[in-house]
Amino acid sequence: AQTVTQSQPEMSVQEAETVTLSCTYDTSENNYYLFWYKQPPSRQMILVIRQEAYKQQNATENRFSVNFQKAAKSFSLKISDSQLGDTAMYFCAFMKLGSGNTGKLIFGQGTTLQVKP
Amino acid sequence: GAVVSQHPSWVICKSGTSVKIECRSLDFQATTMFWYRQFPKQSLMLMATSNEGSKATYEQGVEKDKFLINHASLTLSTLTVTSAHPEDSSFYICSAARDREDYGYTFGSGTRLTVV
């Protein structure tokens, strides 16, 4: 069975600075997706970034980038130039691909990020 | 972009009554919808996967008779919490996908259920 672990329950960062959120996962699968989601106080789940396991290049979306280390099963999220609107709970998630793909997302425990002015 | 509407956003009901939550894909046809449950400051747990026109697939430990899921059309899935009890109080979130490539992209805004 797959598991996703986020070992940082809470983090804080000063506005305009950079912060990195950690995520590790365990799987015997070779073909999968990894996601980072943001859940602000409104509780709307927002997809931040997605990484296909077969791609060696790290995904980036504007101020958000990932460091995907497949061998180490690590998938960290870097937020550059942090903004007050980045304050949210962040979830790392895993989805298996292939013939057994059901779209099931396995979420980590979440990291609450507070951006301070 | 794809939009998923979830209704109601919050509901309070009496213990023993049933509550229906709707999840609609507004601008696309969703072949698959997912229902999650989230306790305060905790992660999301998948309850069931709903495919249009077929029975939902429930995750282990989720009571099928307690949480009835219907996916009658390509734009609507409903979750009915039957004979609700206070322990069913939670935040319920749906997610919808056009196809396998679309998995994980679009979530509803969630429903806060309080059973008194």
Annotate A20-61 with DSSP letters as a single string. Answer: EE--EEE-S-SSEEEEEEEE-TT---EEEEEEETT--SPPEE
> Between chains, do A93 and B104 touch, taking CB under 8 Å as contact?
yes
Q: Among A54, A55, A116, A59, which Cα is nearest to A85's?
A: A116
Minimum CA–CA partner of B109 in chain A: A44
pLDDT at A50: 95
With cut-offs at 50, 70 and 90, classify the pLDDT of residue A100: low
> Between chains, do A104 and B34 touch, taking CB under 8 Å as contact?
yes
B10/chain A closest Cα distance in angstroms? 12
With cut-offs at 50, 70 and 90, classify the pLDDT of residue A74: very high
Q: Which two tokens stand for residue A3?
A: 């598991």
B14/chain A closest Cα distance in angstroms? 24
> Between chains, do B44 and A112 touch, taking CB under 8 Å as contact?
no
Distance (Å, whole) CA B45 – CA A21: 21
pLDDT tens, position by position, A30-39: 999 999 999 9
Confirm if B30 and B98 have CB atoms less than 8 A apart. Answer: yes
pLDDT at A98: 76
Q: Length of chain A, please?
A: 117
Minimum CA–CA partner of A51 in chain B: B104
Sequential pLDDT tens for chain B (116 residues): 789 999 999 999 999 999 999 999 999 999 899 999 998 888 999 999 998 888 899 999 999 999 999 998 999 999 999 999 999 999 999 999 988 778 888 999 999 999 99
DSSP, residue by residue, A59-86: PEETTEEEEEETTTTEEEEEE-S--GGG
pLDDT tens, position by position, A5-21: 999 999 999 999 999 99
> How far does chain A reach from its first CA to its final CA, in angstroms?
41
Going by C-beta distance under 8 Å and a sequence separation of 6 or more, which residues neighbour residue B34? Answer: A103, A104, A105, B46, B48, B49, B50, B94, B95, B96, B97
Going by C-beta distance under 8 Å and a sequence separation of 6 or more, which residues neighbour residue B93? Answer: A43, A45, B6, B35, B36, B37, B38, B44, B107, B108, B110, B111
